[in-house]
């Protein structure tokens, strides 16, 4: 009887070890990978953003090419989002801003009726594509209006196609 218990415990330990090894291979370090082409992402979420309607920050260096704005909205996301993307170029006397995107996006919701169930989907409408004519350091500002308690993610991705 003791021999059967020892065998059962040994099998259980081996199963746990195999499971842990497979989990470590499937998700090394627990880090999320960025989608292909994504160069920047920011999420408005949590109580620290409920009283702050805007965000300003660096996108880093963008290469020449075509880019796309992406959103992950929910039903309680802000009703409008205003995004501006600019680079600073110097001439001989001063710095001036050069914009590559200045757009207001409006949250639309659509009812989907499958015949079995009904649910809503949300999407921000507006021009989501822009081009960068010259490699350089770019900055982004995001202003939100309506329902600042709702969360939304905003991303910038490089795309391989022309606009």
- What span, in angstroms and rounded, lies between the C-alpha atoms of 67 and 128? 8
Beta sheet of 65-73, edge-to-edge order: 38-44, 152-159, 65-73, 129-132
Q: How sure is the predictor about 119, in pLDDT bands with cuts at 50, 70 and 90?
A: confident
Query: What is the separation, in whole angstroms, between the first and last Cα of the chain?
Result: 73
Q: 11-59: per-residue pLDDT in tens?
A: 644 445 445 444 444 444 445 566 677 878 888 877 777 777 888 888 8
3 state SS of 101? strand
Q: Which of 36-45, 51-60, 70-79, 118-127 has the highest mean pLDDT?
A: 118-127
Tell me how far the alpha carbon of residue 126 is from its chain's centroid: 17
């Amino acid at each position: 009887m003791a021999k059967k218990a020892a065998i059962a415990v040994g099998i259980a330990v081996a199963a746990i070890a195999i499971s842990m090894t497979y989990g470590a291979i499937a998700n090394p370090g627990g880090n999320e990978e960025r989608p292909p082409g994504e160069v920047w992402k920011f999420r408005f979420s949590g109580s620290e953003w409920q009283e702050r309607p805007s965000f300003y920050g660096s996108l880093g260096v963008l290469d020449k090419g075509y880019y796309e704005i992406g959103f992950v909205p929910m039903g309680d996301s802000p009703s409008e989002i205003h995004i501006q993307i600019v680079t600073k170029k110097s001439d001989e006397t001063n710095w001036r801003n050069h914009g590559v995107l200045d757009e207001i996006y409006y949250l639309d919701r659509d009812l989907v009726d499958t015949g079995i169930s009904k649910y809503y989907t949300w999407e921000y409408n507006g021009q989501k594509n822009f081009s960068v004519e010259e490699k350089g350091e770019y900055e982004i500002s995001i202003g939100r209006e309506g329902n600042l308690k709702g969360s939304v993610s905003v991303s910038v991705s490089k795309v391989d196609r022309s606009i």
